[in-house]
Amino acid sequence: MFLGRADRQVKLRGFRIELEEVEAALQAVEGVRNAIVGVEQRADGGDRLVADVVPLDPADRDDPVVFRSALRGSLLRTLPDYMVPSEIRLHADLPLGVTGKVDRARVLAEAGITR
């Protein structure tokens, strides 16, 4: 049985992507408190990168179009375009596990994402 890679490397549209690298780039953007990245399977069978982001300023959730646009612009300055998430979902907070780290599995499962 194949369980997948332990290092969270994925292959999307022929490119190998380290999800931790995308998360680090997101968390380095001014105005981002926390972020995780996963791969969502679309209905047409394709995959896409999605990010769940917690803005530092709650007001940024009130104007998500501007915040997401600024986030994408920042990411495009540091990452190749194929590593920029197709969708950025904003949250007030991300659930934490018993260790105090983001409960990645719970966030992704709630969004219907498998990896």
Q: Roughly what angle, to the nearest 10 degrees, separates helices 64-78 and 19-28?
A: 120
pLDDT digits (tens, 9 = 90+) for 37-61: 999 887 787 888 999 999 998 888 8
What does the pLDDT look like over 15-29, one tens digit per residue? Answer: 999 999 999 999 999
Distances, alpha carbon 55 to alpha carbons 2, 9, 43, in Å: 36, 25, 29
Q: What percent of the chain has pLDDT over 70?
A: 90
Mean pLDDT across the stretch 92-113?
81
- In the predicted model, what is the mean pLDDT of residues 68-90? 95
- What domains are there in the chain, each with its CATH number? 9-110 (3.30.300.30)
Question: What percent of the chain lies above the pLDDT cut of 90?
Answer: 50
